[in-house]
A and B are shown apart, each in its own frame.
Chain A
Amino acid sequence: NAGVTQTPKFQVLKTGQSMTLQCAQDMNHNSMYWYRQDPGMGLRLIYYSASEGTTDKGEVPNGYNVSRLNKREFSLRLESAAPSQTSVYFCASRPYGGSTTTGVGFSYNEQFFGPGTRLTVL
């Protein structure tokens, strides 16, 4: 059980290049999220997917697109990278789409985070 995995771990891009950040979870979770983390600004939500087949914008969606490929995978695409997109990107997943209690060991509202992708845009 690997939890939430992200690839790549590190990436350097030139301005204008495109790339896709991959995220997968093996916990059968319904909801998935993409955040960016910048110094002094905490984690800000870029996009989220409440369930397979749905996606929606978060706080800072400009310059990004997402695809919920299936229940396991949620990718983040930068079509034309800009230096302002230099950041650490985290993917997260959450077990349930509703408000019922979760299984043993879970807080029913907990989001589980991947290890992050450090992206630098030159």
Chain B
Amino acid sequence: GENVEQHPSTLSVQEGDSAVIKCTYSDSASNYFPWYKQELGKGPQLIIDIRSNVGEKKDQRIAVTLNKTAKHFSLHITETQPEDSAVYFCAASKVSGTYKYIFGTGTRLKVLA
């Protein structure tokens, strides 16, 4: 079945350093890739997304890259801050029908002050 693998499961970085989280998807028909941030005790919230007709998208300190051939996509956070500490989930979806997401298993990011 459809699957999204996410690595690493935990990531610790020093404040100001960069963080990279990687995902691989199995369904080549997937064409929409969102990233969600979940803070403790809250529901996930969209932080950035990318469609398959774009290779890279940037929003201030966060960026997402997509390699369709390899079926890889990555989240890049630069100049990390303590408030970036959270669990991050990637997902893959198809832009048709019901827009069901297949989520990765999550990455717990800790930014050390």
- Cross-chain contact A90 with B100 (CB below 8 angstroms): no
Chain B residues whose C-beta falls within 8 Å of the C-beta of A107 in the assembled complex: 34, 46, 49
Give the total number of A-B pairs whose CB atoms are below 8 A apart: 60
Chain A residues whose C-beta falls within 8 Å of the C-beta of B106 in the assembled complex: 40, 42
Interface flag for A74 (CB, 8 Å): no
Give which listed residue, B9, B41, B99, B103, contacts A44 with CB less than 8 A: B103
- Cross-chain contact A56 with B98 (CB below 8 angstroms): yes
Give which listed residue, A42, A50, A58, A116, contacts B89 with CB less than 8 A: A42
**CB of B88 to closest CB in A, whole Å:** 11
Interface flag for A86 (CB, 8 Å): no
Chain B residues whose C-beta falls within 8 Å of the C-beta of A31 in the assembled complex: 98-99
CA distance A94 to B34 in the complex (A): 13
A-B contact pairs, 12 of them (CB 8 A): A31-B99, A40-B105, A45-B100, A45-B101, A48-B98, A107-B34, A109-B34, A110-B49, A113-B36, A113-B43, A115-B42, A116-B42
